[in-house]
């Protein structure tokens, strides 16, 4: 029969618990999401491209990482442009797409997009932390290999095992 060991409270642990009771910490406060120093609301009203007359103005394209910035500077593909229009008019419905190279923009946050992984569509709920990543990163195209036990003929000794 196993006996339970009684755990003694150390003085340090007692002080820590007393301090916690005094400060009335029940749960941690939720930190407001900020991306590159801007809140989600500020990002959603920001234009995608800087205006022609002021190329130094802050826009979504200027805040993105360099790879995304270069891609957006060339302009969105017609396929990605069409996807963006469908997302804007989705009204909470799931939007299905094969466009894995489309980058997540702030206006997509909160929508559900089904991205094709080669076999079927993987539903992705777009979160603020996904901004700047491509949709294809969230729909894996390869499965991890799961091996079973060795079969007959796998080794020299298994050649002599009776099948039944």
- pLDDT averaged over the chain? 86
**Is residue 114 helix, strand or coil?**
strand
Its CATH class, for the domain covering 34-138, is alpha beta
- Output the CA–CA distances (angstroms, integers) from residue 37 to 13, 34, 42, 61, in the order listed: 38, 6, 10, 15
Give me the pLDDT at residue 14, please: 86
**Residues 6 or more apart whose Cβ sits within 8 Å of residue 58:** 46, 50
pTM of the complete model:
0.71
Give me the pLDDT at residue 16, please: 86
Residue 130 token pair: 């996904």
Residue 160 token pair: 């002599």
Where is average pLDDT lowest: 12-26, 75-89, 104-118? 12-26
Q: Among all chains, which residue has been given the structure tokens 């777009």? A: 126
């Amino acid at each position: 029969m196993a006996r339970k060991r009684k755990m003694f409270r150390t003085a340090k642990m007692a002080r820590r618990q007393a301090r916690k009771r005094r400060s009335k910490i029940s749960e941690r406060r939720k930190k407001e999401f900020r991306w590159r120093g801007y809140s989600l609301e500020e990002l959603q009203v920001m234009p995608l491209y800087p205006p022609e007359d002021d190329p130094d103005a802050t826009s979504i394209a200027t805040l993105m990482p360099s790879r995304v910035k270069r891609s957006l500077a060339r302009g969105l593909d017609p396929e990605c442009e069409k996807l963006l229009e469908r997302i804007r008019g989705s009204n909470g419905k799931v939007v299905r797409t094969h466009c894995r190279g489309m980058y997540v923009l702030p206006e997509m946050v909160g929508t559900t997009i089904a991205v094709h992984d080669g076999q079927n569509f993987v539903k992705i709920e777009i979160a603020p932390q996904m901004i700047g990543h491509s949709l294809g990163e969230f729909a894996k195209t390869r499965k991890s290999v799961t091996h079973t036990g060795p079969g007959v003929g796998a080794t020299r000794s298994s050649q002599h095992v009776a099948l039944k």
